[in-house]
């Protein structure tokens, strides 16, 4: 079996850029998913990768067959090339390049999560995963949030990126979008108890940064 062994291969270089440079992800409108579970989640959501790199000895045969059936370019690489492209110290042995999902902006959304200046990728991914599990209609990212397509966010999100719309917006845009819902802000010294809110009503919930809480514009 022939394997790609050059770090100068054009596709290898593209993956490395997408893994390490937010600007490259935005310009290319592409992201990298690592691991069998994330790739299968994306395939289940009808997302088709542009191509997939893999280590034959570490990748399940049924995943390769699934990709082959869709006509996806599936390319074997050496351990060195996989380590170069991977965002983790222990690569999972398979990664694919997908388009960043185009957000489907829901009309009349009644459950809106707004994240303000969330900087930790793991926290961002956890919030997205929780929002997807809770059937939130849309997640809106205010300015100064970490890139939602950061590799660590994607891992922590565990497929949430393909199960709910994620929008990035200014505070002016957020205010216009949330005109018809009750807006709540999570605050340790707030005067409304969580349990006192009727969450059956249309709402938007703002959660602020880990270190400083919600910013002035959110208030």
Supply the range of the domain harboring residue 83. Answer: 10-99
Say if residues 25 and 161 touch (Cβ distance below 8 Å). no
Do 93 and 115 reside in the same domain of the chain? Answer: no
Using alpha carbons only, what angle is made at residue 69 by residues 63 and 73, rounded to the nearest 5 degrees? 75
Q: What is the domain count for the chain?
A: 2
pLDDT, average across residues 110-132 = 96
Residue 199 domain flag: yes
pLDDT, tens digit (0-9, with 9 covering 90-100), for 122-151: 999 999 999 999 999 999 999 989 999 999
Q: Pick from 54, 76, 99: which residue ends a domain? A: 99
Which segment of 19-33, 86-100, 174-188 scores lowest on mean pLDDT? 174-188
Model pLDDT, residue 100: 97
Do 148 and 209 reside in the same domain of the chain? Answer: yes
Say if residues 98 and 31 touch (Cβ distance below 8 Å). yes
Q: Pick from 73, 99, 125: which residue ends a domain? A: 99
DSSP 8-state secondary structure symbol assigned to residue 69:
H
- Integer Cα distance of 157 and 166 in angstroms: 12
Do 160 and 180 reside in the same domain of the chain? Answer: yes
Q: Pick from 76, 99, 122: which residue ends a domain? A: 99
Q: Is the pLDDT confidence value at 71 over 70?
A: yes
Do 44 and 134 reside in the same domain of the chain? Answer: no
8 vs 103, higher pLDDT: 8
SS3 202: coil
Do 76 and 116 reside in the same domain of the chain? Answer: no
Do 213 and 118 reside in the same domain of the chain? Answer: yes
């Amino acid at each position: 079996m022939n394997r790609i062994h050059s770090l100068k291969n054009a596709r290898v270089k593209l993956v490395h850029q997408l893994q390490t440079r937010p600007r490259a992800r935005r310009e290319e409108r592409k992201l990298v998913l690592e691991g069998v579970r994330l790739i299968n989640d994306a395939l289940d959501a009808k997302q088709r990768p542009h191509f997939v790199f893999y280590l034959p000895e570490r990748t399940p045969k049924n995943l390769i067959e699934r990709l082959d059936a869709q006509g996806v370019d599936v390319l074997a690489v050496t351990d060195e090339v996989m380590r170069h492209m991977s965002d983790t110290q222990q690569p999972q042995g398979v990664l694919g390049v997908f388009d960043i999902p185009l957000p489907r902006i829901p009309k009349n959304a009644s459950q809106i999560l707004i994240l303000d200046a969330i900087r930790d990728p793991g926290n961002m991914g956890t919030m997205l995963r929780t929002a997807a599990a809770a059937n939130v209609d849309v997640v809106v990212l205010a300015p100064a949030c970490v890139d939602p397509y950061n590799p660590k966010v994607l891992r922590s999100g565990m497929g949430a990126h393909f199960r709910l719309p994620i929008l990035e917006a200014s505070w002016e845009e957020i205010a216009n979008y949330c005109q018809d819902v009750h807006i709540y802000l999570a605050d340790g010294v707030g005067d409304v108890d969580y349990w006192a809110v009727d969450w059956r009503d249309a709402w938007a919930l703002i959660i602020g940064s880990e270190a400083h809480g919600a910013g002035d514009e959110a208030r």
